[in-house]
Structure 1
Amino acid sequence: MHTNYYFLRQLAPVLQARLQGLYFMECFSQDRDEVVLAFAQARGKANYYKPVFVKVTLRPDFSGILVSDDVRRARTNSVDLFNNLTGNEGGDDPDRPGMETPGKAVLGVRSFLNERCLAVQLADDYTLLFKFFGNRPNLLIFRENNVEDLFNSKLVADKNLLLNAIDRPIDQSERAFNAAGGDYRKLFPTFGKLVRAYVEKRAQEAGAGVTWALLQDVLRELDAPTYSLIRFEHHPALSLVPLVEPVRTWNDPIEATNGFFIAYNGQNVVERERAEVLRLIDKRLKRARALMDANLQRLISRDDGPSHEELGNLLMANLHNVPVLPGGRSPETITVEDFYRDNRPQTIRLKVDQTPQRNAEGYYRKAKNEKIEAEHLTQQIEYREKEIEELQVHRALIEPMLSLKELRRYVKQHGLLGDAPASTDPAELFKEVQYEGFVIRIGRNAKNNDLLTQRYAYKDDLWLHARDVSGSHVVVKYKAGKPFPKTVIERAAELAAWYSKRRTDSLCPVIVTPKKFVRKPKGLAEGQVVVEKEDVVLVVPRGE
């Protein structure tokens, strides 16, 4: 939370008190992602008078602020920045003999509504803006409302930012909370991981979900916090809420940002790499447990009410009681005694355009598909259990490691990072939906789409894609001797529409064709293919 909105709005007035009456005297960088700003009352030929240094790290993986009275500048590999603001372009100050021309005077320090930004306001309508946006942090120089210069010029989009558009008003009223169905994340996107974890912890302890009263309690804590250094996801973190037992606490935000900055950057290489590996393992564990729980719930939900096999048996046992309508048609429903459940009444739905016997055959066909799906779910649960067990073993072995060489060898040997061996399990590689006994697979991105279409789809599989827009490739796996039912094709088309740029359209045209008519000539970008023959269906986009 060291760059969180709630912390920055408390840091701003305290930092302003430190910089009040000072001038922006010097700015330099001696590291690729680091900038040092010096503020002082005046400067002679060779020294500062009571300087205050603001050292800012702007790495994609970490950004933070250190406020200090002493920062040593390297004699080499150091470059001056923003000389037009610091006075370094001028010579002596004509009004003060023996003193150099001062830089721009500090007028104030401010934060921005619901944003991770901090600004030092200077004379002549200049503003130094620290932008702490995730993996895109930067330092920008504004003149009035427009960007005049920036530290990281590779972040081209930053050049188009407007100073008066950075504040982000959000309706955070109780009415808006209720309208959002109690989804507090929409109202408070600035909470971040730490505060969200604290809110969920408080809600779990109360056993009443996230209520408006709970959110108000948390906001009051954020307004008057004790700043705590904690361990979160195996890294040092600065917290404004009592999430876990703190390592250290502060009452002053400058002391807090300095203490956290030193603690985070003071980790040695082994600690940093071990923490990152453990974080990724925990992420994979969380995902595996969630997938296993979802499969368990699907398996359990199948036990609710009569199975399709039971309905088929009940229907066959009561064929003599089913009135046959003209043309061999059936009524919409029939109520029979359920001999599986103490002869309680059981209503069976029938397809009116089929005979009672064909309706029973339909239930038996669905029962067969149910068994196939149950076997698949059981296999997936066993696979996840094995994965969780392996990850827990890796975690237990990595936690005590102190040797960098040993850590890196183990990680590479077991493929725990980017060099992990590619999974060959389609259920792991792609989104997968079971529908009426057919397996529907969905690509996750452009590269994953190519993998699905080129390596995991065969000529008789059915291939679908939303027409004329980017989106996921969808494949329905062929079952020997069985045509694709219309209901399965429509469901796969709904998924193809949902996982495309047409998700919000009321109707979406979807290409449907056997995989053998889809090819990828050399030179096409990732995810692009050529379809030689196609049919089109119109569906309403619908997700899983």
Structure 2
Amino acid sequence: MHNNHFFLRILARELRQILTYARLKQCFSQEKDELVIGFERQNGQDFWIKCSFGSQFSSLQFPDEFRRAGRNSVDLFSDLLLHEVQDVRVFENERAIGLYFLGEQVLVLKLFGNRSNVILFQVGEHQGQFQKRLGKDFDLTLGQLDRSIDQSYEAFQEAEGDWMALYPTLGKEGGNYLQRLGYTNQSMEGQWKLLQQTLQWLDEPQISIVETAKGIALTLFPNDGEVLYQTKNVFDALNQFYSLHYSVGEFRREKSLLMETLGKLHLKAIHYLESLEKQQVKRDSSLAYEEIGNILMAFLNLIPSGAKSVELDDFYHGGKVTIKLNPLLSGPENAENYYRKAKNFSKEIAQWEATVARKKAEIVELGTQLKGVEAAQVRRELKPYLQYLKVQQSTKQSSEELPFKQFVTSGWTIWVGKNAKNNDLLTLKYAKKFDIWLHARDVSGSHVIIRNPQQQTVPKHVIEKAAELAAHFSKRATESLCPVIVTAKKYVRKTKDLLPGQVIVDREEEVVLVRPNYWE
């Protein structure tokens, strides 16, 4: 509830006492998503407000002092410097506080969760804002921030006791509190009385910081969670909440996310190994490609033209064998097709064995990582495992600008070409030399790129996810396993005589066997 209207109502009341007639001394940003506002009060003391508005967590802090960095900081809302605060108020039924300055200028702290912002209004019209990414805020006017709601008993009767219609700002937490008091079992008068008692409680509540299943929370209501801190001081509450969110809440969140991520990777590796082992059983029970080619060559006169399959004598193992054919090819050409597959078969077996060995090692490694995360007691002990939660810097081109299919796994961005010309565009123009290039082996298909602008070692599980896409967007999409070439983009080139989509791979750094798979 740290951004709830009723909590902000208390905060605005305290800020009014402290900031009335104070002058804006500094307003600057030196960290992404962080704005620092400094005031000089009439008694000569400084008062600081630190606005931390990240995409995952937003809150206010009130440090006793704040030292501005010598560089990498930028001044904001300079027109307000040395202006005097005349009033502080919370907007009606809204999660926003207005700091009113002389000259009809209002600095609004808009505390809308991951859409929080600081906006400057002049004579009610938008003049500037801190978070430029929130485009809709540019169209706001000051008058839109107040939400007038009839909260009389008559309106309550008309709403048939629906407290949400009158006080939506109580939110889910307020609704749960009313239910614990037996709200639904009361008469209309009893419900109104309970509602008024709750509102009276919220005027000067005990502020608690609790640990819940979802993390660290600030609440104005009695709560079943473990209470970590209690106070009546709204500034202390926010400072402690921010600190505990990162020292306790973020540790629990990251640990839970790591356990979930590693658990999925571990389970996936186990299933993948099972699939590989089933493929070996299938191969062992199947006729070798070279044997099939020999059988076809021995009975060319028995192969009907345009047939999709043929049943012939198996002179290797006895009995009959049904052989699939390409109806567009002649008997000798079908035999040659099987000879070509036989040529690559020994290589694929070696690749298969290497993949099985690597997957077994990966299962052991992931199991060890899981135990390490589970044993961690403090945030610094999670540091060796945070690579699994790594988020790459966003690329310069947005998804709307790029003409490729785009996927993201474990923070790594993957691009997939859409057609032959698009493949050339992807590989020759957009991909950089240290990006990873993938393509299904010996068949036509999409070029696939793993972006690697930081020139880091790409994790094996990310390569395999990209390889699954390369296999899916290829002529081998219907096969159970597909060999995929993996190499650095710098080893891929094109000469003028090649058709669109065709390239020369000077060095195959690795070939992986994967199941074709489309994932999002």
Q: TM-score, normalised by structure 2?
A: 0.48
